């Protein structure tokens, strides 16, 4: 069986790629507006009795709760994605995210219903985490399983653009609200607009996804799909899961430091105007998108592993120099430091849309790639930002955050070097190789 038999013509591939990107933009937009709101608002409306510092820490902790849920989402939706198909599973994740995000936008504050408000906030955040946990793998498989072998990296970059575009869009949405209303109005009701307005984006996403067909690779392998994908993942490919997760951890660490912690750091520690911090978030998101595109395309020529190794090495350096630049304390130095943090993310992030799926056979690819990706999210995106807040308050200050980011990058570098080269084979040939290994 050749890969040529299972791939789509160029026009269909462009449609599939754009559909996968549209879905991930919407899902991550919903995910990120929570992070922005946690950094700017939730300490005041859901944790008002704790004071600014403690309230912000707890608000960011609720952001991190979703990362704990994400691996469970990858197992849950990966099971159905491997057993029943990619398309229907992705529609379900989009609906779950849309419901959760709308509910947060309508949620009464602590001043209205007391302690029940933050409890419900955490529950809804867990649902968001489950949805995103099932989203990424399915969206990347839409492109990776349909793309030609020699262009898999190019097409698999489209869902990888979701986080960067979504971060820029979320920053722009909050920037508009900040520029068009007073702080009092923003705290009272303005922060709800991005959450409620996301319903329109979800409607667009559903329209696009319902028009898609199942991936060709899955349709050919569907009769042989395993009964319990997660069990087969950990019994046959455990090294791929943990090395893949380790390889991706630095990506999450840098990205979520950039999109959540630095938003709070810029407005509270550096005392920069909120509109300026949000505007720099748009710039950082665009830089992230550009490096993602370049790296993914190059991965088809030089290999996934080489590009991820390069990104991890760049991250070791960036961790040491980003905060000294940011701590200059001007809007432009903040924007430069944020762009550096997010720019190095794209170098490693672009290729993994093809790399992680290539580590697993079709029959449990959704589950395996999703678990690896979301385990990295737990440690890099959930744990590292919490340590960052503690380090900033210590004697090390922001230097400690930079050292932590560099150490995580070194770990990811070692894990990446232990991974095999994967992009030389078609997915059909790779299935046969993995079956005989």
pLDDT band for position 2 (50/70/90)? very low
Q: Indicate if the pLDDT at residue 3 is higher than 50.
A: no
**What Rg, from alpha-carbon coordinates, does the chain have?**
21
**What is the pLDDT at residue 10?**
63
How close are the terminal C-alpha atoms of the chain, in Å?
Answer: 18
pLDDT tens-digit map of 221-256: 654 456 788 999 999 999 999 999 999 999 999 988
Q: Judge contact between 412 and 246, C-beta under 8 A.
A: yes
Q: What is the DSSP letter of 364?
A: G
**N residues, the chain:** 437
Measure Cα distances from 328 to 57, 257, 323, 355, 420 in Å: 24, 18, 9, 38, 41
pLDDT band for position 50 (50/70/90)? low
Give the CA count within 13 Å in the CB-facing half-sphere of 197.
13
pLDDT tens-digit map of 319-374: 999 999 999 999 999 999 999 999 999 999 999 988 898 899 888 999 999 999 99
Q: Judge contact between 148 and 4, C-beta under 8 A.
A: yes
Distance separating alpha carbons of residues 260 and 35, to the nearest angstrom: 6
Distance separating alpha carbons of residues 289 and 153, to the nearest angstrom: 15
| H helical segments located in 181-228 | 183-185, 192-210, 216-221
**What is the pLDDT at residue 4?**
42
| Lowest pLDDT segment from 25-39, 74-88, 127-141, 273-287 | 25-39
DSSP string, 1-45: --GGGTPPPHHHHHHHHHHHHHHHHHHHHHHHHHHHHHHHTHHHH
Residue tagged 């992705």 (tokens): 90
Structure tokens at 417: 């070097």
Distance separating alpha carbons of residues 143 and 273, to the nearest angstrom: 40
Tell me the percentage of the chain whose pLDDT exceeds 70. 89
Q: Indicate if the pLDDT at residue 5 is higher than 70.
A: no
Q: Indicate if the pLDDT at residue 410 is higher than 80.
A: yes
The closest of 343, 360, 363, 64 to 220, measured between CA atoms, is: 363
| Lowest pLDDT segment from 44-48, 284-288, 387-391 | 44-48
Q: What is the 3-state secondary structure (H, E, C) of 375-429?
A: HHHHHHHHHHHHHHHHHHCCCCCHHHHHHHHHHHHHHHHHHHHHCCCCCCCCHHH
Mean pLDDT of the chain: 84
Distance separating alpha carbons of residues 358 and 145, to the nearest angstrom: 9
pLDDT tens-digit map of 184-224: 888 788 888 888 988 888 888 888 888 777 777 787 765 44
Q: Indicate if the pLDDT at residue 64 is higher than 80.
A: no
For residue 313, give the 3-state DSSP assignment: helix
Structure tokens at 290: 């550009």
Q: 425 Cβ partners below 8 Å, 6+ apart?
A: 149, 358, 433
Distance separating alpha carbons of residues 3 and 91, to the nearest angstrom: 26
């Amino acid at each position: 069986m050749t890969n040529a038999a299972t791939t789509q013509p160029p026009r269909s591939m462009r449609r599939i790629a754009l559909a996968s990107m549209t879905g991930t933009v919407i899902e991550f937009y919903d995910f990120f507006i929570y992070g922005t709101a946690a950094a700017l608002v939730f300490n005041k409306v859901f944790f008002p009795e704790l004071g600014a510092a403690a309230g912000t820490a707890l608000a960011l902790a609720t952001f991190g709760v979703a990362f704990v849920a994400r691996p469970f989402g990858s197992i849950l939706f990966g099971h159905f994605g491997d057993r029943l198909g990619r398309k229907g599973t992705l529609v379900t994740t989009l609906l779950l995210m849309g419901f959760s995000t709308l509910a947060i936008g309508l949620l009464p504050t602590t001043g209205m219903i007391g302690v029940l408000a933050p409890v419900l906030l955490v529950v809804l955040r867990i649902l968001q985490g489950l949805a995103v946990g099932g989203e990424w793998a399915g969206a990347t498989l839409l492109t990776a399983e349909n793309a030609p072998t020699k262009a898999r990296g190019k097409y698999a970059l489209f869902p990888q653009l979701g986080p960067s575009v979504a971060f820029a869009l979320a920053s722009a949405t909050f920037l508009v609200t900040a520029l068009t209303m007073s702080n009092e109005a923003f705290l009272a009701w303005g922060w709800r607009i991005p959450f409620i307005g996301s319903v329109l984006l979800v409607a667009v996403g559903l329209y696009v996804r319902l028009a898609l067909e199942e991936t060709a690779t899955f349709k050919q392998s569907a009769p042989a799909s395993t009964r319990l994908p997660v069990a087969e993942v950990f019994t046959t490919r455990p090294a791929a899961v943990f090395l893949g997760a380790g390889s991706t951890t630095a990506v999450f660490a840098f990205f979520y430091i950039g999109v959540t912690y630095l938003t709070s750091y810029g407005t509270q520690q550096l005392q920069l105007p909120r509109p300026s911090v949000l505007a720099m978030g748009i710039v950082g998101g665009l830089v992230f998108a550009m490096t993602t595109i370049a790296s993914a395309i190059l991965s088809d020529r030089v290999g996934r592993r080489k590009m991820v190794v390069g990104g991890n090495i760049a991250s070791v350096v960036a961790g040491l120099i980003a905060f000294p630049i940011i701590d200059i304390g001007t809007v432009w130095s903040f924007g430069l430091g944020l762009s550096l943090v997010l720019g190095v993310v794209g170098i490693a992030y672009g290729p993994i849309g093809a790399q992680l799926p290539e580590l697993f056979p079709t029959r449990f690819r959704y589950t395996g790639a999703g678990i690896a990706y979301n385990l990295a999210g737990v440690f890099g995106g959930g744990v590292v930002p919490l340590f960052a807040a503690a380090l900033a308050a210590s004697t090390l200050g922001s230097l400690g955050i930079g050292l932590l980011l560099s150490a995580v990058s070194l770990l990811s570098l070692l894990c990446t070097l232990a991974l095999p080269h994967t992009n030389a084979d078609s997915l059909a040939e790779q299935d046969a190789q993995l079956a005989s290994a």
